[in-house]
C-alpha cells in the first residue's frame, strides 16, 4: 500500500497540488487524469522518489517492488530483443548467465555441481523455465513479430524499441506498475492486447496516465483527478468519473448561488434598516449572521482549452498533391508499394492502417525528408506546408525559452502578437519563459501548434498530433481543423478525432492504397475494416503486419510442453477469477439480505446505511471487473484448448 499524506508540490509560484492525501491499495487500478502540466507525471516521479515533495509525506514500503518504464533503449542496441525483456528480472538473468558459464567450464568438480544446484533453485523460484515463452508472449502481444525476438535491438525502430522496454517492465511483474502514456507508441491491436493483459493477468497495483478515453474506461477501476490544486479519488472508470465530477461541480455552483443569494438578502436588510432605531437590533443580528457565514472556496480549474485557430495567407491551387506509384523499402522490408492518390484543396485526409505499414514514411517522402525507391509526387500551385512531426523533440532542444523559440520562427511579428499567441496556447506570464527542453509532451505540442498558427500555410501535415495532448486539447484541435479552410493530411490512431475531422480516407495496405472520398463513418459503412476500433477482432490489422503462425498439425515436443504450461496457467486464472466472482456475489447478497429486513432502514443509522450502500457499490464494480477477467481467461483457455486438441 502506498500512502500519501498532506502532499504539496509547486514549482516557483505555480502550485500543482496542496494538502492532498490519498492511498493506493494493493491490486487496484488507478488512472491519473488532469490537464497537461497539472502534475500527473510529477506525481509518478514523487512516488518513485525521483523528486521530493514541497511538503507532506509519501510512504512506500521498502519491500514493495515498483516498476517504471525505462526510456533509454540505446544501452541495449546490441542485445537480443528477447534478452532485453529477460533483463527485467536481474536475479534470474544473473543466475542463467552464471549457469551457462559454469556448464562451459572444463573442470567440473563438486563445488561447481553444488553451485549449479543452487542456481537451479534460484531459476525455479524465478519461474526461469517458462521465462522465455512468457517474454515471447509479451513481445508478440505488443506487436513485435517472432522473427525479431532473437535479433538485435538495433534492427527495430525507436517506437518498437520502446515496446520492448514496455515488455521488459511487464516481465518484471512488479508489485506496483507505473505507466506514463503507455499507448502512445502502440497500434490499436497492441492497445487492445495491453488492456486485456492489465485487466486479466497483472495482479499488482496499477497507476497510469493516459489521455486515451477508451483505455481509461477499459482499465481503470478508480480515477485520481488532479484539478483545483488537489488530488481527488473517484470510484469507477472515466465515464463514471465524468458523471460524478459534473454532479459535484453542479452541487458546488448551487452552494455558491445559495450563498450569494442569502448574503444579498441579509445585506439588503442591513442596508435598509440599519439607520432605523426600531430595526437596529434585527439589522445588527443580520450583520453577525453575515460574519459567521462560511464563504464557499472557489478554486480555478486547471482544465483550460487552448484557443487554436489555423488560417492560410492564401489558398493553394485546386489540385494540392498528386502521388504516382510510390514504393519504399528498408533493407528487405517493403513498407510502401505502388501508392497512388490525389488530394484536392480543402480536403481533410486521414491516413490510416496498422503500425509499420508506412504512414509516417509516406509523409516524410512527400516532404522530401526521405527519397522514394520508385514513383513520383508533385505538389500543386501555391502549395505551402506546415509539418507536425510525431517525434518532435529534436525541434525543441537547447537552453532557449518558449517565447524566444517562437519569436525566432517569426521575428517580423510584434512582441505583443507573440505574447498573445503564447497565451492562447496556455503559456501565460512566467510560463512563456520555460526552457523548451523542460516542456512536457502536451506543452511541446501546444508550442508547435502556435508556430503553425504563425506560419499561416495552406496545407497542414500532422503525424499523430494528439499523442501527448489532454482531452481538452484534442477537442480544441479537432474544432480548429474542422474550421480550417485549407487542406489537412493527418495520421492518427484516435478514432474519435479522425471521425470528427476527416473528409477523405487513405488506407495503406501491403498491396497499395484504398482511396475513399468521404468521412470515416461512411468508409466503415462501405468497407467495414475499422483500424481504429479496438473492439474489432484482431484479424484485420494484425494479419497484415505480424500475423501469428498457424499451429502445425503435429506439434513439436517443446511446443506441446509450452502450450500445456500455458493451458495450466489459464486454468488457474479462470478458477481464481471464478472464485472471486462467487465470493463477491456472496458479499453483495449479504448486504441485500440486510436491506430486505423489515424496518431495517428505520432501525439503522443513516451513516451505517450509507456505509453499506458504498460497500455494495464498490463490490458491484469489483464484480464487473472480476467477470470481465473470468470471461477473458475462459475464452483464451477455450481457444488454446481448441488449437491443442484437448
Chain segment 37-90, per-residue pLDDT in tens: 788 889 999 999 888 988 899 999 988 999 998 766 667 888 899 999 999 998
Q: pTM of the predicted model, to two decimals? A: 0.61
Give Cα separations from 340 to 373, 375, 397, 511, 514 (angstroms).
14, 9, 36, 11, 9
Determine the Cα–Cα distance for residues 443 and 640; give it in Å rounded to an integer. Answer: 45
Residue bearing the bigger pLDDT, 28 or 566: 28
Band (291; pLDDT cuts 50, 70, 90): confident
What's 396's domain CATH number?
A: 3.40.50.300
Instruction: Cell numbers for 296, please give them.
Output: 464557499
Residue 95 lies in a domain: yes
Instruction: Give the residue among 260, 277, 280 at the shortest CA–CA distance from 269.
Output: 280
Do 178 and 36 fall within a single domain? Answer: yes
| CA dist 69 → 88, 163, 174, 177, 391 (Å) | 10, 10, 11, 9, 18
For the cut 80, the answer to whether the pLDDT of residue 637 exceeds it is: no
CATH number at residue 614: 1.10.287
227 shares a domain with 345? no
Side-chain half-sphere exposure of 223, counting CA atoms within 13 A: 23
pLDDT for position 356: 75
Is the pLDDT assigned to residue 543 strictly greater than 50?
no
DSSP state string for 322-353: EEEEEEEEETTEEEEEEEEEEEETT-EEEEE-
Residues 470 and 341 in one domain: yes
Query: 263 is in which domain, residue-wise?
Result: 251-292
Confidence band for 631, pLDDT divided at 50, 70 and 90? low
Contacts 24+ apart (CB under 8 A), 526-531: 530/495, 531/188, 531/352, 531/353, 531/354, 531/493, 531/507
Please give the pLDDT value at position 537.
39
Report the number of secondary-structure helices (H) and strands (E) in the chain: 22, 18
Computed on alpha carbons and rounded to an integer, the radius of gyration of the chain in Å comes to 29
Mean pLDDT of 511-520: 90
Q: Which range is most confident: 74-78, 138-142, 188-192, 553-557?
A: 138-142
Q: How confident is the model at residue 312 (pLDDT cuts 50, 70, 90)?
A: very high
Query: How many domains, the chain?
Result: 4
Q: Are residues 510 and 365 located together in one domain of the fold?
A: yes
d(CA 640, CA 574): 13
Whether residues 191 and 334 fall in one domain: no
DSSP assignment of 435-463 equals BGGG--HHHHHHHHHHHHHHH--SEEEEE
Are residues 505 and 614 located together in one domain of the fold?
Answer: no
* 301 within some domain: no
Beta strand 29-33 pairing with 176-180 = unpaired
Residue 371: helix, strand or coil by DSSP? coil
| 8 Å CB contact between 581 and 173 | no
Please state whether beta strands 222-227 and 512-517 pair in parallel, antiparallel, or not at all (unpaired).
Answer: unpaired
Does 24 share its domain with 61?
Answer: yes
Final residue of a domain: which of 545, 568, 586? 545
Q: Are residues 83 and 153 in the same domain?
A: yes
Cβ proximity of 270 and 286 under 8 Å: yes
- Give the span between the Cα atoms of 452 and 458, in whole angstroms: 10
Q: Cα(first)–Cα(last) distance of the chain, in Å?
A: 41
Percent of the chain topping pLDDT 70: 84
pLDDT tens string 435-476: 888 887 888 899 999 999 999 999 999 999 988 888 788 889
| Mean pLDDT score, 335-364 | 90
Is the same domain home to 534 and 601? no
In the block, which residue shows the cell 496556455? 426
Give me the residues paired with residue 199 across strands: none
Q: Is 309 a member of any domain?
A: no
Same domain membership, residue 615 and residue 534: no
- What are the tens digits of pLDDT across the range 89-110? 989 988 888 888 887 776 767 7
Q: Among all chains, which residue has been given the C-alpha cell 567450464? A: 105
pLDDT band at 539 (very low <50, low <70, confident <90, very high): very low
User: 275 and 381 in one domain?
Assistant: no
Is the same domain home to 286 and 350?
Answer: no
Amino acid at each position: 500500500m502506498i500512502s500519501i499524506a498532506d502532499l504539496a508540490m509547486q514549482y516557483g509560484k505555480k502550485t500543482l497540488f496542496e494538502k492532498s492525501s490519498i492511498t493506493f491499495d494493493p491490486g487496484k487500478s488507478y488512472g491519473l487524469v488532469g490537464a497537461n502540466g497539472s502534475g500527473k507525471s510529477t506525481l509518478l516521479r514523487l512516488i518513485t522518489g525521483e523528486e521530493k515533495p514541497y511538503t507532506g509525506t509519501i510512504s512506500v514500503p521498502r519491500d514493495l517492488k515498483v516498476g517504471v518504464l525505462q526510456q533509454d533503449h540505446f544501452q541495449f542496441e546490441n542485445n537480443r530483443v528477447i534478452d532485453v525483456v529477460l533483463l527485467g528480472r536481474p536475479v534470474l538473468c544473473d543466475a542463467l548467465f552464471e549457469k551457462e558459464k559454469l556448464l562451459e567450464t572444463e573442470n567440473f568438480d563438486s563445488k561447481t555441481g553444488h553451485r549449479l544446484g543452487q542456481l537451479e533453485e534460484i531459476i525455479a523460484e524465478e519461474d526461469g523455465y517458462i521465462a522465455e515463452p512468457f517474454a515471447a508472449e509479451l513481445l508478440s502481444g505488443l506487436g513485435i513479430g517472432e522473427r525479431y525476438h532473437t535479433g538485435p535491438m538495433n534492427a527495430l525502430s525507436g517506437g518498437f524499441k520502446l515496446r520492448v522496454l514496455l515488455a521488459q517492465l511487464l516481465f518484471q511483474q512488479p508489485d506496483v506498475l507505473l505507466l506514463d502514456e503507455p499507448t502512445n507508441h502502440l497500434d490499436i491491436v497492441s492497445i487492445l492486447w495491453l488492456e486485456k493483459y492489465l485487466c486479466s493477468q497483472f495482479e499488482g497495483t496499477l497507476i497510469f496516465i493516459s489521455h486515451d478515453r477508451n483505455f481509461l474506461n477499459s482499465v481503470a477501476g478508480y480515477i485520481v483527478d488532479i484539478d483545483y490544486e488537489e488530488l481527488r479519488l473517484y470510484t469507477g472508470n472515466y465515464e463514471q468519473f465524468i458523471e460524478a465530477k459534473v454532479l459535484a461541480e453542479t452541487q458546488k455552483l448551487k452552494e455558491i448561488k445559495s450563498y450569494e443569494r442569502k448574503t444579498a438578502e441579509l445585506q439588503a436588510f442591513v442596508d435598509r434598516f440599519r439607520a432605523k432605531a426600531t430595526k437596529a437590533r434585527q439589522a445588527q443580528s443580520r450583520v453577525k449572521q453575515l460574519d459567521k457565514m462560511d464563504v464557499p472556496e472557489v478554486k480555478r480549474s486547471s482544465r483550460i482549452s487552448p484557443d487554436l485557430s489555423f488560417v492560410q495567407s492564401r489558398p493553394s491551387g485546386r489540385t494540392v498533391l498528386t502521388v504516382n506509384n510510390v514504393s519504399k523499402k528498408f533493407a528487405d522490408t517493403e513498407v510502401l508499394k505502388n501508392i497512388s492518390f490525389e488530394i484536392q484543396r480543402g480536403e481533410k485526409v486521414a491516413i490510416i492502417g496498422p503500425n509499420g505499414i508506412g504512414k509516417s514514411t509516406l509523409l516524410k517522402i512527400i516532404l522530401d525528408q526521405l527519397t522514394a525507391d520508385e514513383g513520383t509526387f508533385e505538389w500543386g500551385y501555391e502549395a505551402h506546408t506546415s509539418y507536425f512531426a510525431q517525434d518532435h523533440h529534436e525541434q525543441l532542444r537547447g537552453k532557449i525559452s518558449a517565447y524566444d523559440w517562437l519569436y525566432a520562427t517569426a521575428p517580423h511579428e510584434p512582441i505583443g502578437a507573440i505574447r498573445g499567441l503564447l497565451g492562447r496556447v496556455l503559456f501565460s506570464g512566467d510560463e512563456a519563459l520555460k526552457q523548451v527542453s523542460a516542456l512536457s509532451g502536451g506543452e511541446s505540442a501546444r508550442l508547435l501548434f502556435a508556430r503553425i498558427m504563425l506560419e499561416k500555410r495552406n496545407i497542414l501535415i500532422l503525424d499523430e498530433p494528439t499523442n501527448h495532448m489532454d482531452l481538452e486539447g484534442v477537442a480544441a484541435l479537432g474544432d480548429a481543423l474542422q474550421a480550417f479552410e485549407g487542406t489537412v493530411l493527418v495520421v492518427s490512431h484516435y478514432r474519435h478525432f479522425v471521425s470528427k475531422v476527416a473528409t477523405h480516407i487513405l488506407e495503406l495496405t501491403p498491396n497499395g492504397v484504398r482511396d475513399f472520398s468521404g468521412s470515416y463513418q461512411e468508409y466503415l459503412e462501405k468497407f467495414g475494416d475499422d483500424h481504429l476500433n479496438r473492439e474489432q477482432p484482431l484479424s484485420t490489422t494484425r494479419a497484415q503486419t505480424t500475423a501469428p503462425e498457424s499451429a502445425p498439425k503435429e506439434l513439436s515436443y517443446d511446443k506441446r510442453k509450452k502450450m500445456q504450461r500455458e493451458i495450466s496457467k489459464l486454468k488457474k486464472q479462470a478458477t481464481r477469477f471464478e472464485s472471486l466472482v462467487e465470493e463477491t456475489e456472496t458479499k453483495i447478497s449479504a448486504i441485500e439480505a440486510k436491506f430486505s429486513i423489515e424496518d431495517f432502514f428505520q432501525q439503522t443509522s443513516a451513516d451505517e446505511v450509507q456505509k453499506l450502500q458504498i460497500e455494495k457499490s464498490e463490490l458491484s464494480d469489483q464484480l464487473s471487473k472480476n467477470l470481465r477477467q473470468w470471461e477473458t481467461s475462459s475464452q483464451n483457455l477455450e481457444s488454446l484448448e481448441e488449437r491443442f486438441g484437448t
